[in-house]
Structure 1
């Protein structure tokens, strides 16, 4: 099989492009010079991905076989990334039917190679239904006419990975946890960026390669080890883990579903798959060495990237508003609502009888001497509390009374992003059990709606809790947010309308605005 660098624009098919791995593999393939066709039962689910205009999209269903012939036409390599997460009765049979239909269609189309990502599990153990199904699917491809590379991975570390999200939520929400015996199972986790790299490198293996290759990162850990190391990396207090042997996988999955937002139907197959060790078994394997020549990320670094907690300059640690991830370890459009960790949002908006330019002047002048356009005593009290607990307080004010630039301090906030006339994003620097942002947006109204002298003000407060204390903090302050942030929307709107009536360019202090 030729190296992808020697033959540009090789056409590959990605099934499961709406899923966790597939959605992240597509942009990596594009960057590597491939031409990509995505097959999905519901192609409309791909519309929000930033790479959508760069790929072909085919409607197809591996179980029914509908659209397979058209999707595979002209394809050299097919990535099969379809599987069920314990999706109801008979899911194993459906997985086998889909793999068998795809293998036959790939042979008819003259495909050179199928690449499949399965789960890493010991060969002699009694596997869970989920792991057994993934193993059987891999066997279907290995028995087929088209040569197949079956990669097997254990826990994948990246935001959006169900295994990682379960680890994230359990660790962040439970200072003390009672767990079943599987916390002692040995696991070889792997970073999502390494999984993607190895999936692409599978195309460079010798022609005719037809075999299983286990992949994993450099660390072999127990689940308890992963919990403790995650807590340290996330800045949490050490977690106390108390194993209880009598907890069955069923009870464990119900408990996970109660404590975390990961649905029990997803948690159960994950929990069951952790009953056994999942360690790479490719010792002294030449083809495995060719596929993975080193450079894999360790567990700690993979977690840092997944939770965006790093001090390295090349990694963007800012909160970003769904404009497409900077890293494969970030959440993607189409990921489950529960992926990416907890983010609490207070969102408000109001139509303002003022031009966008006047509304923006008010927004950009916020804080410092101009105040926060709502409950001055409440904002001052928050600054006093912050000082009392060792924070920066609100005494820093502003560099300039009217204009802001990225990096400026505004009381106990820091300017993270400014798009003149449109967006101001502030990151909290007060002492908090989490990370917080305040985002202020100005939008121009369509003249046909309200007239040329109207605009829309949108305000979002976001909070990402750290640990159980962070969740409790948000629950306590939420009622106060309803008063303070609601009053802030009204105060900013009134000040902008006042400027509009006065038709001036220098907003005065808002002493009379409440």
Structure 2
């Protein structure tokens, strides 16, 4: 649905608008701003009641695509980045979530720069005082901040702990634990202190940052009026629910076992649980909360925030039952697409760029796989990857001159024995330098194999990973040689 207002109010885009924070933020902003909700999932757009509001426009934008990100941010004055990558974005995903986070943030920052966005406001996470040596899920927060700042748009970062609100992954996890387990075994790191904040407070703080120049290029801690351990949060919420629960601490429960156990009990995806568990070992307390002090917003006490979240969750359940009664609980299932996303990060040799990495790959691959594979570059810019003795290419990549820059080289997958190109999804391979040029990310997006899925998983997918790791080792040796 398109915005129908012709007024001159500022235009605000929200990436991650379908999330529980994004939805609450939209409600607050629509009276004073023209709001654009960016979402990857078209089904969510059609089912959302907010799509009937005149001051709201939904734009479908997969932020893994720089082109879609650019279209999504056209005409935007201020942009919120509330994106999380805990849910797989393809049927097969190869690579670390941290590297995918960097791609999403880098695309968003590039698109914001091109659109003339005045400010990016990012809801990140609290960082331990000793950031060195913390797990990737916490380092990823710093990398996302760096990626958003890399292209010159002023960035405001609000660093929050757990946001207490209906629909939040941590809050849902706690509720399911309480409902299913009268007694719980708790690892020792559940005694770490954390600084929760109410959904209502975080929405006020996010909205207050719009155009507030004193927050530009700042990372600001936020939190509620209480600090608690995870065990204390569980017990307080259980008391509010009228349930008595017992928690027993143990010293031997490893993070991997904890993650599998939590996934089995709560049904929350393993990747989300791993990220949550990885951060639990460290105290996450907001120290620099100067924005709240200036706004006179100390934050709701935890018990009040949890009570409001429980009330909202009950209303949400009632609304779902009404919709199920209205539509009979029937929703057409979308046919699963056999798409692949592979994201690998490598050290980029000093003085080199993404364009060099792409050209070097085309020259390195036939040397590495000689005599099985050779690469033939046609005059029109297409690359053919040929198997010895076979005339037709295994893959055909077409260089996109219009969409490539020295720090990001893009090839479209336009043919070959191994690839399907007769779908609406446009497969592509990119070489992208990130984080001050220290790394290059080699990524394949929306690749759709031609061979049967089970056969692809057992052969081509594994070969691709082996080739990428070999290329990564080659780049690492090149970096050592140049550095010496």
TM-score by length of 2: 0.60
| Structure-1 residue corresponding to 2:370 | none
Contact 2:225 2:298 in 1 (8 A): no
Pairs aligned (count) = 314
Measure how far apart 1:58 and its partner are: 2.2
Output one character per residue of 1:207-243: Cα deviation in whole Å (capped at 9) or x when no partner. 6721101111100001111111112111112x22211
Seen in structure 2, the aligned counterparts of structure 1 residues 46 and 280 have a Cα distance that, compared at 3 Å, is same
| Structure-2 residue corresponding to 1:273 | 279
Output one character per residue of 1:238-269: Cα deviation in whole Å (capped at 9) or x when no partner. x2221112111110011112222223332221
| Structure-1 residue corresponding to 2:58 | 57
| Structure-2 residue corresponding to 1:264 | 270
Measure how far apart 1:200 and its partner are: 0.8
The reply to whether residue 320 of structure 1 matches residue 318 of structure 2 is yes
Distance 1:275 1:56 in 2: 41
Seen in structure 2, the aligned counterparts of structure 1 residues 167 and 205 have a Cα distance that, compared at 3 Å, is same
The secondary structure found in structure 2 opposite 1:13 is strand
| Structure-2 residue corresponding to 1:289 | 293
Of 222, 231, 249, which residue of structure 1 is paired with 2:238?
Answer: 231
Q: CA RMSD in A?
A: 2.9
Distance 2:64 2:151 in 1: 17
| Structure-1 residue corresponding to 2:304 | 301
The secondary structure found in structure 2 opposite 1:67 is helix
Equivalences for 1:3-402 in 2 at 5 Å? 9-31=9-31, 33-54=32-53, 55-85=56-86, 87=88, 89-125=95-131, 126-206=133-213, 209-237=216-244, 239-282=245-288, 285=290, 287-290=291-294, 292-294=295-297, 296-308=299-311, 320-322=318-320
Seen in structure 2, the aligned counterparts of structure 1 residues 257 and 90 have a Cα distance that, compared at 3 Å, is closer
The answer for unaligned runs of 5 or more in structure 2 is 1-6, 329-484
Equivalences for 1:418-457 in 2 at 5 Å? none
Contact 1:58 1:67 in 2 (8 A): no
Distance 2:118 2:321 in 1: 36
TM-score by length of 1: 0.56
Distance 1:121 1:300 in 2: 24
Question: If you compute each CA radius of gyration, which structure gives the higher value, 1 or 2?
Answer: 1
Seen in structure 2, the aligned counterparts of structure 1 residues 86 and 304 have a Cα distance that, compared at 3 Å, is same
Contact 1:213 1:288 in 2 (8 A): no
Output one character per residue of 1:114-142: Cα deviation in whole Å (capped at 9) or x when no partner. 00111112142433322222221012223
Measure how far apart 1:111 and its partner are: 1.0
Distance 2:185 2:139 in 1: 27
Seen in structure 2, the aligned counterparts of structure 1 residues 68 and 317 have a Cα distance that, compared at 3 Å, is closer
Measure how far apart 1:180 and its partner are: 0.7
Contact 1:147 1:208 in 2 (8 A): no
Contact 1:157 1:192 in 2 (8 A): yes
Distance 1:347 1:15 in 2: 30
